[in-house]
Structure 1
Amino acid sequence: MKLFAFSGILAFTEAKQIWSWGKKCVEAPVIADFDIERYKGQWNEVARYPNNFQDEEGQCNRATYTDRDEISVKVNNTQIIERDGVREANGAFGQAIQEIEDKPNWLTVTFNLESGFANWISRLFTSKGNYKMMGTDYDNYAVVLSCQRYWFITVEQAWFLARDPNFPQTDQFRELMDDAVENWGVQEDLLVYSDHSDCSWDINTQFDWGDV
């Protein structure tokens, strides 16, 4: 078990993601009236921190949230990767669940993996409320942060989502970014911006393991 944990730490530090030594996670706000129904639908990822589960060359990154039950939604994350002139649409299916009753905007997101054992391991190391909705107006933007502590290592993730992929060109986005930098510690210079200029694809290789 100690060897497994140490190997995991090495993986964190070698992966293309935002990590630091001993940093505290920012305290996420509680949005008591967060409405998961209004949050449903398609969101375009317009900017994010680099991470180890999204292809850095991916284009047209999207997240679509649809009906599941009264406290959760189905998640369909997609991206387009071009390899050898072939544009492939791929992604992952999962679920976002409101598991913390007094913090409805702290969702727990898990994804359905092909292997049942991999699913079990993934959920074993997924903390409740790992998908923190920092702010949204439901019609234009949403900002999501995730911060996990692994002993003395802190791994941070951030996503800026928009209904309109051209949202970064608006004054509202600039105001939102300034607020995120000042109040939530977002490091703007580390963000990767998504390309939505061509969202056509030739093949679709998404895998749906169903609700697990």
Structure 2
Amino acid sequence: MWQVLFMFCIIGGVFGQSPGLGACPDVKTVSSIDLSRYAGRWYEAMRFFTVFELTGKCVTADYTLIDSNGTVNVVNSQISTLTNKRSSIEGTAEIVDLAEPGKLKVTFPSVPIKNSGSYWVLGTDYDSYAAVWSCTSLKIANLQFGWILTREKNPPESVIQKATNVFKLNDLKPSKFYKTNQLDCPDDK
């Protein structure tokens, strides 16, 4: 078992995510969230380097409110820069604890490893940006993911700066971000 964990850390460190030592850092999420306002189309403006988005461009996330208890349908899509074909994955996100509504867990049933991941909203104004972060603790190390989502496909720098500032306030390094290619994308659905 430890060999698998070690390889996961090595692969994660070499091919993506943002590895760190120790437990996941303590971050502050939004104190309340209006999922009906959060719903809709978001464009990925920036991300930490990740294996599952390695060749992805034109990345979108579509959220649809399922119920008032805090469950949302999630559809993440991207186009491969190698094949120019669109792929998507569908799942659900739900608020785990109403006392911490910014901390959601996301599950994708089609992923072979049946596990849910964290989806923490560090900040959003609902209309222009969302700063989203995830961390998986591996006891002696952690793997972090970060995304800046925007309502516009190619937002102004001021919007990116607002989201970046949220990461800075949480002592998370914005230097880990890579700009997502949103150019030459086919028309939206």
TM over 0.5: yes
User: How big is each residue's C-alpha offset from its partner over 1:101-123, in whole Å with a ceiling of 9 and x where there is no partner?
Assistant: 21111001011217xxx3xx422
Q: Deviating runs (4+, > 3 A) in structure 1? A: none
| 1:97 is aligned to 2:84 | no
TM-superposed deviation, 1:25: 2.4
| 1:122 is aligned to 2:114 | yes
Q: Any idea what SS the aligned residue of 2:85 has?
A: strand
Letter in 2 for 1:93: E
CA contact (8 A) 2:133 2:147 kept: yes
State the number of aligned residues.
Answer: 183
Q: Any idea what SS the aligned residue of 1:26 has?
A: coil
Partner Cα distance (1:106, 1:44) in 2: 20
User: How big is each residue's C-alpha offset from its partner over 1:174-206, in whole Å with a ceiling of 9 and x where there is no partner?
Assistant: 24324422x1223222211111111128xxxxx
TM-score, length basis structure 1? 0.79
CA contact (8 A) 1:61 1:80 kept: yes
Corresponding residue number in structure 2 for 1:190:
176
2:108 to 108, 111, 134: 111
Partner Cα distance (2:135, 2:97) in 1: 16
TM-superposed deviation, 1:82: 3.3
CA contact (8 A) 2:121 2:131 kept: yes
CA contact (8 A) 1:18 1:156 kept: yes
| 1:135 is aligned to 2:127 | no
Structure 2 stretches lacking a partner, 5+ long = none
1:57 to 55, 58, 67: 55
CA contact (8 A) 2:130 2:163 kept: no
User: How big is each residue's C-alpha offset from its partner over 1:77-117, in whole Å with a ceiling of 9 and x where there is no partner?
Assistant: 0000133xx42000200000112121111001011217xxx
Q: Any idea what SS the aligned residue of 1:27 has?
A: coil
Corresponding residue number in structure 2 for 1:204:
none
Based on CA coordinates, which of the two structures has the bigger radius of gyration? 1
Partner Cα distance (2:21, 2:90) in 1: 32
CA contact (8 A) 1:28 1:132 kept: no
CA contact (8 A) 1:49 1:190 kept: yes
User: Which has the larger displacement, 12-21 or 69-78?
Assistant: 12-21
User: How big is each residue's C-alpha offset from its partner over 1:19-46, in whole Å with a ceiling of 9 and x where there is no partner?
Assistant: 1222x42323243331111100000000
2:65 to 64, 67, 90: 67
| 1:148 is aligned to 2:132 | no
Corresponding residue number in structure 2 for 1:208:
none
Corresponding residue number in structure 1 for 2:25:
26
1:11 to 8, 11, 15: 8
Corresponding residue number in structure 2 for 1:41:
40
Partner Cα distance (1:26, 1:59) in 2: 29
Partner Cα distance (1:178, 1:31) in 2: 14
Distance 1:77 1:101, change over 3 A: same
Letter in 1 for 2:161: R
Partner Cα distance (2:32, 2:21) in 1: 34
CA contact (8 A) 1:180 1:186 kept: yes
